[in-house]
Amino acid sequence: MSTESPLKDKVVLVVDDEPDVLETVEEELDGCVVHTAQDYDTGLQYLLSYTYDIVVLDIMGVNGFELLKNAVSRGFPTVMLTAHAVTPEALKKSIKLGALSFLPKEEMTQLRGFLEDVVLGGGKSLWLKLFDRLGNHFNKRFGPDWKEKDKFFQEFEESLRKSEESGDV
């Protein structure tokens, strides 16, 4: 017996300047109503004109951080999906601006699972789950001591773990 995806009939906005990425995400999210935009202006118009269950944003090419600010200010759960901006700095900025998660495009096969977690989590942060799932990926990409090198990540993860222990997450 298969269970129905929590993504069924969800309205999702995906903004990315690469048409093949948009097409792949649409295929991954069959069962959802997916709006796509290839540039900042179109993405912003969608954000201002519709209500979304989830927003997925590229960083480079579409001014993703500005779109993130707009999406978060409208209360839309937002996930960053990027290839070229997979850096500790972009990860930190995504966290600070209110993204719920951050997925490298080379891990796009996990997108559906991440977005199901967004829906099931009711808009709560998924950063601990991300660090647990993709820790090896980030360690290879940033170096094994990337979190230790930056006090922000140490304190952020520590506060998340404390919240989880107290039942706040």
CATH number of 15's domain? 3.40.50.2300
Q: What is the pLDDT of residue 1?
A: 45
End-to-end, the C-alpha distance of the chain in Å comes to 30
Cα torsion through 136, 137, 143, 146, rounded to 10:
-80
| Residue 52 is assigned to a structural domain of this protein | yes
What integer pLDDT is reported at residue 2 of this predicted model? 55
> Residues 17-30: what's their mean pLDDT?
93
Averaged pLDDT score across all residues of the chain: 89
pLDDT of residue 169: 53
20 lies in a domain?
A: yes
Q: What's the number of domains the chain is made of?
A: 1
pLDDT tens by residue, 80-126: 998 877 888 999 999 999 999 999 888 888 888 889 988 888 767 78
Segments forming the whole domain that contains residue 60: 11-124
Contacts for 29 with CB less than 8 Å, ≥ 6 apart? 7, 12, 14, 111, 112, 115
Residue 133 lies in a domain: no
In this structure, is residue 137 part of a structural domain? no
Residue 38 included in any domain? yes
Report the pLDDT averaged over residues 45-71. 95
User: Is residue 100 situated within a structural domain?
Assistant: yes
**Domain membership flag for residue 130:** no
146 in a structural domain: no
